[in-house]
Amino acid sequence: MAQHNCSATSLGLSNKKSYALLTAPGLCFLTISSFLLLSSPVAEAGLYSQTDQVVVLSSDGIDFQLFNSSNAWLVEFYASWCGHCQRFAPVWKALASDISEWKPAISLAAIDCADNKNRISCAHFEVNRYPTLKFFQAYSESGSKGEVLQDTSSSAPKLRQLIIDLLESHVEAWPPACPPLEPASAAELSDFFKTSSEQYLALVFEEASSYVGREVTMDLLQYEKIAVRRVLRSEEALVSKLGVAHFPSCYLHFPNGTFSRLSVHVEARSFYIYSLRMLPGVERGGYKPIMSLASERNTTADEWRQFDRSRVYMADLESSLYYSLRVEVGTHSTISGEPLSALKAYITVLVKYFPGRPVVMKLLHSLESWLKSHDDPELQYTALEMVLDNEVQTPDAALPDAWRWVSCQGSQPQFRGYPCSLWTLFHLLTVQAAHSTHTPVPDPLEVLQAMLGYIQHFFSCRECAAHFKSMAAETMSRVDSLPRSVLWLWSRHNIVNVRLAGAPSEDPKFPKVLWPPPDLCPQCHGELKGEHFWKMDRILEFLEDYFSPDRILQDYLEGEEELLTRQRAKLAARKEEAARVLVRKARGAEEAAGGQVTDVGRGEPEVGEGEEEGEEEGGEMGNQEEGGVQEETANHVPWENPELPRNHKPSIINMKQREMEEDIVDLDSFVDQHYKSKALLAHRSIQKREDKRRPLQIQPENSEAGDYGVVQSHRRKRGLGYVMAREVPLQKQHWLSMLSVGFSRLDISLCVLLYFLSSMCLLGMYLFLKMRLRMPRGKFALP
């Protein structure tokens, strides 16, 4: 929240210097007012850039890079607004820089889950807390979720050792560029130069628990003419032969069989690396670092939105709803137990106290009703998402499908945003609950417990969630009235802001100070004997006025009609895709059942002598043929022609009285009815495969055999699949055949008519010329 992120402290703050520093008008308020006069900021998005050794992933290329890759990947899933992620970013950058030479075997990457474009990808990898580290082995299969690493508080050296352990966990698919990391034996070393063209073999003698040898091995993997192996202290024969007395220590082995100890000032990794790289003939190979697919820097595309810091904006509140329900709750594929109860409580307080626009409130009411009717102990988010998308068809109901920060916007994308809006939302709910006219009087802890449940189970900054939980455990139970609930949340927010003042998550343009500051509420502050104190009655009045629904600004909101229009378009696109999926499913069922579909260019399918048995079969099959022919024909939707557009409707021949079918049909029912008779027919035909097959000839039973429905009936009786009428033209009845050419009645009639007309034409010309010749000719004479 714009105002609260400029706040912070407990009610009993004892450090006067800290308080003076945080509340100095010249430090905070001048900075803010000056910043509001600046032009729109453009900053790099996320915590990592292309100049870091971290590969910046995005939803466009994450699958391509992680799956079936010849190198392993260690990926950080983070949210740019998360304070713990911001503190961890320097460690991740330092680690990536430290092991930059290891990239042919393993790469470090990061993806910002707070970026709306990456939301679906993060949910696919089942990430619901930040930061989350996941390891992907080389040649990971598509769809792999990765191995979660629990420790995100370690230093770069500990994480480096952890990467060694992860690389050694490869069993089947070892990264091709990764050298051997297991200890070498004396026998293996004696034969090394027989099969290798290297000039040097560096042997690092160490204890079994040491990582120095493996780290040096990885550090030199990009260099040619040298190889590194670790030798354990337990290899007594070799240790005794070389007289190794210090562990770790490094020896050089040459192709002529001699050994020489590497002279360094300190027996440590960095000294070994430098000395080995300086050996004559040792040089870097041709490896080139992996570049991120997102080659261009991400910058903030939104223009800076001018706002009034003394007001609350509905755009921030609706953005908070979107982010919480679609992004954070969306990271949980299955919700059950306490998280499900927490989600229901969160939706309930929103329905009761959120003063939203009608279109949003209708959607929230629909969601609450659906959750109450959901009795299963588990809830799939895909089902919840259908309600959020209003697939239940509640009239004039929609949620925003993106966030748009106004008073919660930060000077850079990683600052403020969602945490600010969530604080604003719950402050608003506590004030609304205090002024509620519900009967009975609301529980003073209702909103606070809903907030605690949501933060505990869904808020993805786990460190922030742990701090809030500890604060609630200490004092929340003492809240015994609705006004006290408003003041409790206000005081806890100030405590959080004092703790985060000066932290990496603090926006330098919006420093965290005690809220409300004197310029917003001068009557809220007092001073007694040089010490500051809060006037609690004035604080309550200020909060009730500040979060009043009448004072919420509707600026920068997208119109309700635009929301509904885009929602309808989205639902229509989903229905279209669902129809395509059903068609593909029906095709798959066709292939699985062994059915045959006529293919133009391949001719008619062949069947055995048992094809006529379908006509003689009684009982259920016979009833389906006689009584169900019209029904099946009416429900039939011809297969799509791949040469035509997806939604192209095929023409229907000789079906003038029949209306065009709908694009979307119940294909599951169609497949079930269509193959019911074919299953029995297929069983009988299998027993007669030895018989000579002959092509099927459809012979019409009467002169109206050209009718589409009759031909389709014949095909169903023989167990053949449906075909498009335009792909298999119906055979015409020939009334007369001459020279192997067939003529129908219509053809003969046209010929007779043309012959008669041509005869009449010739006769008319003959009479005209005859009369012309008989006319007397005139004589002309000169005067």
Q: Kindly list the catalytic residues.
A: 82, 85
CA 275 – CA 303 distance, rounded (Å): 53
Q: Is the peptide bond before 131 cis (omega within 30 degrees of 0)?
A: yes
**Dihedral sign computed on CA atoms, order 604, 608, 609, 615:** negative
Q: For residue 284, with 0-12 CB atoms within 10 Å meaning exposed, 13-18 middle and 19 or more buried, which class applies?
A: exposed
Q: For residue 247, with 0-12 CB atoms within 10 Å meaning exposed, 13-18 middle and 19 or more buried, which class applies?
A: middle
List, in order, residues 6 or more apart from 137 with CB less than 8 Å away.
Answer: 72, 147, 169, 170, 173
Query: Using an 8 Å Cβ cutoff, are 510 and 410 in contact?
Result: yes
Burial state string for 94-133 with b = 16 or more CB within 10 A and e = fewer than 16:
bbbebbebbbbbbbbbbbbbbbbebbebbbebbbbbbbbb
Burial state string for 483-493 with b = 16 or more CB within 10 A and e = fewer than 16:
bbbbbbbbbbb
Task: Provide the 3-class DSSP secondary structure of residue 387.
Answer: helix
CA 50 – CA 291 distance, rounded (Å): 8
List, in order, residues 6 or more apart from 670 with CB less than 8 Å away.
Answer: 586, 635, 636, 637
**Residue listed under structure tokens 């067939």:** 742
Q: Write out the two tokens for 511.
A: 């420093």
Task: Provide the 3-class DSSP secondary structure of residue 679.
Answer: helix
In the chain, the largest separation of any two C-alpha atoms, in whole Å, equals 153
- Residue 4: DSSP 8-state: G
Separation in Å, CA 54 to CA 74, 91, 103, 132, 287: 10, 11, 10, 15, 17
Query: Using an 8 Å Cβ cutoff, are 447 and 425 in contact?
Result: no
- What residue spans of 628-744 are helical by DSSP H? 629-635, 667-686, 708-717
Q: Around 303, how many Cα atoms within 13 Å sit in the side-chain half-sphere? A: 5
Backbone angles phi, psi at 523, to 5 degrees: -75, -10
Q: Is 181 left (phi over 0), alpha (psi -120 to 50) or beta?
A: alpha
Q: Is 257 left (phi over 0), alpha (psi -120 to 50) or beta?
A: left
CA 89 – CA 79 distance, rounded (Å): 11
CA 72 – CA 127 distance, rounded (Å): 19
Task: Provide the 3-class DSSP secondary structure of residue 56.
Answer: strand
Q: Write out the two tokens for 772.
A: 């012309």
CA 87 – CA 100 distance, rounded (Å): 21
Query: Using an 8 Å Cβ cutoff, are 363 and 332 in contact?
Result: no
Q: Write out the two tokens for 32.
A: 């803010």
